Structures are given as C-alpha cells and as structure tokens.
C-alpha cells in the first residue's frame, strides 16, 4: 500500500439542528480497502459526500492526490478521480446502460454522441466486471441487482483513483458479491484506494485492510482490521456491547389469523399456500429472484393477482389494490423504503398521516390536526425514532430511522398482518436489533408477522417458522429450531427440473 492519497483534517459540518461531523480527521492510502463503519447517522455518508464534492465542509482542510482543495464540486472531484457509488441507486431509468455509464462524460465525434463507441467501452467495462448485460438495454428494465452493478461500472468508467462504495452489496447475490470482491482486489493492485461502507460486517473480513469507526459525528477508532474483532467493532460503533444479535421472544402459538390459498400472480408467484398464527414470526427465505418480493406485493395488492384467496381471521377479503389490503388490516413494509415506502420530501408527520387519513379526517374530510400530532408523537415515541421534530424532512433521517417511520405509519392503524420485506437492509447493527424488537413486540400483541430476508442468519435467528421459495413456489416449510442452513439451501435450489417434494419438519 502506498502513501496517503486523501487527507482530511479537522472537518466540521452542521445541518439545521444537527452537528453531523465534529472535528473529523480521515485518510486513505493508495491500494488499500478502508472499511468505514458506524451506526446510521454516525456521519459516514456526510463525510464521503464532502470527499466527493456533494457537500461543502464548514471547516477543516482537504488534500487529494497531493493537491490542497479549497472548494470541491462533484465535477472537480470526478476530474481528480473520485467516484462514489451511493447506497441509493442514482440511475436514469429511461436511458440505456451505456448512456448511464458515460453520463456526464459522454463520448462524442464532431460534437455528436457516439453511441457505438460508448456501447463498446461499456461492454468492455461490464466484461471486466464479469457482468452479462447488453449495454443497449434500458436501465429501467433491469433488476435492482443489475442496476447496482451498472453503478459500479459507471464509477470505473472514469478510471477512479479513489472509489467510495456505500453499501454496494445490498442488492447483490452471493455470486455477484464474489465477482465484486474480485474486482476490488484488482483495483487494489492497480493502486486504487477504496472506501468501503457496509453494515454487513462479515464482508469486511474478506477485503478490509484498515477500519475507521465513526460514532456521533466523530472518528473514535482507526486501526488495522486484523488487529480487531467483530465484537469490538460493534461495541465501538454503538458505544456499548450488543449482548444479543438476534433477540428472541417465546410466545404460545394462538389462533390462525391469516391464510393465503392458491395465490398466482405472473411467473414469479405460483400456487402459493401458507398461513400465519398469533404468537409467531414467519420468515421467507430464498435466493434472489425466487419470487419472495413479488409474493408480498401480490398479497398487498401492489401488483395484480390472477387467482387465489386471502383470509383474515377466517373471513375472505377481496384485494384489488393496496387500499383494500390496508382496510383489511394487511400492511407492507416494502423492500425499497425510499421509493415505495416514503414520501422523501415530506415531513415525518406527513408520512405517518398520509396512509391514515381515514382515521384522521372528520365527516367533511378535514384533517384533525390534534389527532394527527397525537398519532405522530405516539408513533415516534413507541418506535424511538431519532429526530429533532416531527416536521423534519424524512429524507434527512438515517436509514434506520427512515425504516422506523415506514413501520410507524402502519402500526398507528392497529393492523392485523404486518409484512416486512428486507426490513434491515442498509441499516446498522443496533438499528437492526430495534427492528427485531419491534417484530417481537408485534408477535407478543398477537399480530401476524411475515418477513422476507436474504440473510440466512437473520431468518434463522428471528423466525419461528421458515418458508423457503424457489422459482416462484414455496418449496419448503421448516420449524426454525430443527432447521439447518443446508436444508434451507436445498429447498432454495429446488427448481422445476428437480424433485418437487417439499421438506417439512
């Protein structure tokens, strides 16, 4: 590893009512992978946005590639070789893959866009990443995981010397993660310095050379990764020891609350049958593309179903859209909270109130502001959402607190069935435990809880029962206490060409 290519000294940054960075010093060497970790809201993304020119620092000194930097813009940062892959995808869905990769530094000939040249260079970059995507494909037609890989290709297209990766594996399969790590190792050899931000701490053991831990806007630890342990990292992140990563609550299973019979919706939801009971949490496991999210969306009415019945407390309910599901007491915390679960530019209070206007409006349709404030205050208090006031823009909150707001708006309705789709994606260890505790609280209250997760330890750690999906079907049902990872994987790879026998406990 070479000399420092980035040196940030005594950086400060404040937003209204919030000190985001407090006297932070940070450095990065060429040819190293630096793990930057901390809870949501610790200041990681703010620091990286300063390094990439998206934010201006309030105070402090910055040096990049031996150049003292006074004012940095995204364009200047890009010219210096700084590239950032944000946690939230930043793609133009109506443009092609090649057009997205070269957006802002397009290839031209005589002042005219050279699509042929961009397509060829895009193909070369994608081949380097071992990604089989046609550069002419419209980005909006790609799966989220493929869009994530296009973001990485976009960063590499400027020959980045400093590459910032903010939760780059949140939407990738295990094979795609392996491919990404191969690329990271190649970039290290080429002298690229990589800042790697991830809440999947187990990944860091495979690639990190050094770790910087942030807490409350400050850097509290900087050391070689080999000189620390996972438990020490977690303790330094949250300021105290996390005693139980997957808290469990034992409850007696009660009556059946929810039932899905012969549900079909397109190619990825085929003849789905299962039920949920009081006092249990049911997890849905499976590989990416198994049909888990499609199943939750069909149940919730976000996508049309072709056939099947849904029953709540033994009564058939007709769901032709999400409003029907909400009225029946079925709610969904979606996989993409920013796109499908929140109005990012509206306040926390607005987000909690919007799906509950039927409870908040009087007979002539006027919102009772007193009820609205009371509902918001109770939701924020019960879920311990960290914010300055309920009028704060929800887009300014950390990922964990945004997720709590999504949950809060549904819990205000006293719903009967709560479906969580990847509820802990992109949030820190402490926030994950809080989400698990919310699920446990619902379980204790007799509310049916169904959750989708790509993290097998999470599914096994929180669920009482596990449904496994493959190729749009439920291919296994296991009692967690008796389940093994091998059994789950066997069911998760039980495609049509293989045995259709379901593994039951």
Q: How many helices (H) and strands (E) does the chain have?
A: 17, 23
pTM: 0.69
Q: Classify residue 351 as exposed, middle or buried by CB count within 10 Å of its CB (0-12, 13-18, 19+).
A: buried
* In 58-195, alpha helices (H): 74-80, 97-101, 115-128, 144-156, 174-189
Q: In this structure, what token pair is assigned to residue 190?
A: 């080429």
Q: Is there a shared CATH topology between the 4-238 domain and the 244-329+415-505 domain?
A: yes
Domain positions in the chain: 4-238, 244-329+415-505, 340-413
CB 82 within 8 A of CB 64: yes
What are 488-501's pLDDT values in tens digits? 989 998 876 443 43
Q: Which residues make beta-bridge pairs with 82? A: 162
Sequential DSSP letters for 272-339 = EEEEEETT-EEEEEE-TTSSHHHHHHHHHTSS--SEEEEEETTEE---SSHHHHHHTTEEEE-SSIII
User: How far apart, in whole angstroms, are the C-alpha atoms of residue 31 and residue 186?
Assistant: 10
CB 223 within 8 A of CB 27: no
User: How far apart, in whole angstroms, are the C-alpha atoms of residue 444 and residue 241?
Assistant: 26
Q: At what angle do helices 429-444 and 399-411 cross, to 10 degrees?
A: 10
Q: Over 173-222, what HEC string results?
A: CHHHHHHHHHHHHHHHHCCCEEEEECCCHHHHHHHCCEEEEEECCEEEEE
% of the chain with per-residue pLDDT over 70? 96
User: How far apart, in whole angstroms, are the C-alpha atoms of residue 258 and residue 330?
Assistant: 9
Residue 350, φ and ψ in degrees, nearest 5: -60, -45
- Using alpha carbons only, give the angle 485, 490, 494 rounded to the nearest 5 degrees: 150
What are 354-404's pLDDT values in tens digits? 888 888 998 888 998 999 899 988 888 877 777 767 777 888 787 778 888
CB 429 within 8 A of CB 201: yes
**Tens digits of pLDDT across the chain (505 residues):** 558 999 999 999 998 777 899 999 999 999 999 999 988 778 998 999 999 999 999 999 999 999 999 999 998 998 999 998 877 677 888 999 999 999 888 888 888 888 899 999 999 988 887 788 999 999 988 877 788 788 888 888 888 899 999 888 877 777 778 888 888 888 898 899 999 998 888 889 999 999 999 998 999 999 999 999 888 888 888 776 667 788 989 899 999 999 999 999 988 999 999 999 999 999 999 987 899 999 999 999 999 999 999 999 999 999 999 999 999 999 999 988 888 889 988 988 999 998 888 889 988 889 989 998 999 888 888 777 777 677 778 887 877 788 888 888 888 887 899 999 999 887 778 888 889 999 999 999 999 999 999 888 899 999 999 999 999 999 999 999 989 988 998 999 887 644 343 444 3
Give pLDDT, residue 444: 94
User: How far apart, in whole angstroms, are the C-alpha atoms of residue 63 and residue 83?
Assistant: 16
What is the architecture of the domain spanning 4-238?
Answer: 3-Layer(aba) Sandwich (3.40)
Buried b (16+ CB within 10 A) or exposed e, 224-244: ebeeeeeeebbebbbeeeeee
Q: In this structure, what token pair is assigned to residue 364?
A: 């002539």
User: How far apart, in whole angstroms, are the C-alpha atoms of residue 181 and residue 201?
Assistant: 14
Superfamily for 244-329+415-505? P-loop containing nucleotide triphosphate hydrolases (3.40.50.300)
SS3 content of the chain, % helix, strand, coil (to 5): 35, 25, 35
User: How far apart, in whole angstroms, are the C-alpha atoms of residue 445 and residue 415?
Assistant: 11
């Amino acid at each position: 590893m070479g000399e420092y290519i980035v040196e940030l000294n005594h950086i400060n940054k404040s937003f209204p009512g919030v000190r985001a960075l407090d006297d932070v010093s940070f450095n990065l060497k060429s040819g190293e992978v630096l793990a930057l970790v901390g809870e949501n809201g610790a200041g990681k993304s703010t620091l990286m946005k300063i390094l990439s020119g998206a934010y201006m620092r309030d105070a402090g000194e910055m040096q990049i590639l031996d150049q003292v930097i006074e004012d940095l813009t995204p364009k200047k940062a890009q010219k210096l070789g700084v590239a950032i892959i944000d946690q939230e995808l930043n793609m133009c869905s109506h443009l092609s893959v090649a057009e997205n990769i070269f957006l802002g530094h397009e290839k031209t000939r005589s002042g005219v866009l050279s699509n042929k040249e961009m397509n060829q260079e895009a193909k070369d970059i994608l081949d380097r990443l071992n990604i089989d995507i046609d550069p002419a494909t419209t980005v909006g037609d790609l799966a989220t995981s493929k869009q994530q890989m296009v973001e990485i290709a976009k960063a590499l297209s400027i020959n980045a010397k400093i590459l910032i990766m903010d939760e780059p594996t949140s939407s990738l399969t295990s094979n795609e993660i392996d491919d990404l790590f191969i690329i990271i190792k190649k970039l290290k050899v080429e002298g690229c310095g990589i800042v790697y931000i991830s809440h999947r701490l187990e990944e860091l053991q495979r690639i990190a050379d050094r770790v910087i831990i942030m807490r409350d806007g400050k850097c509290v630890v900087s050391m070689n990764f080999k000189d620390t342990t996972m438990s020490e990292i977690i303790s330094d992140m949250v300021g105290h020891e996390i005693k139980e990563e997957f808290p469990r609550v034992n409850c007696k299973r009660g009556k059946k609350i929810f039932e899905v019979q012969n549900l079909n919706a397109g190619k990825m939801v085929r003849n789905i049958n299962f039920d949920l009971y009081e006092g249990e949490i049911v997890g849905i496991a499976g590989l990416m593309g198994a049909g888990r999210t499609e199943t939750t969306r069909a149940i919730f009415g976000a996508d049309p179903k072709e056939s099947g019945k849904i029953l709540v407390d033994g009564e058939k309910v007709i769901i032709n859209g999400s409003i029907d599901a909400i009225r029946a007491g079925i709610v969904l915390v979606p996989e993409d909270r920013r796109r499908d679960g929140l109005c990012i530019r509206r306040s926390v209070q607005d987000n909690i109130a919007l799906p509950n206007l039927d409870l908040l409006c009087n007979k002539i349709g006027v919102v009772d502001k007193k009820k609205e404030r009371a509902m918001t205050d109770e939701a924020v208090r019960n879920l311990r959402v960290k914010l300055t006031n309920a009028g704060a823009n929800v887009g300014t909150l950390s990922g964990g607190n945004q997720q709590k707001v999504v949950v809060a708006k549904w819990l205000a309705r006293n719903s009967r069935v709560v479906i969580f789709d990847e509820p802990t994606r992109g949030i820190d260890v402490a926030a994950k435990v809080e989400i698990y505790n919310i699920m446990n609280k619902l379980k204790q209250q007799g509310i049916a809880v169904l959750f989708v997760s790509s993290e097998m330890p999470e599914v096994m750690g929180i669920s009482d029962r596990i449904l496994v999906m493959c190729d749009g079907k439920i291919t296994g049902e296991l009692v967690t206490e008796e389940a093994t990872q091998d059994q789950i994987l066997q069911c998760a790879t039980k495609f049509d060409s293989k045995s259709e026998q379901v593994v039951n406990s």
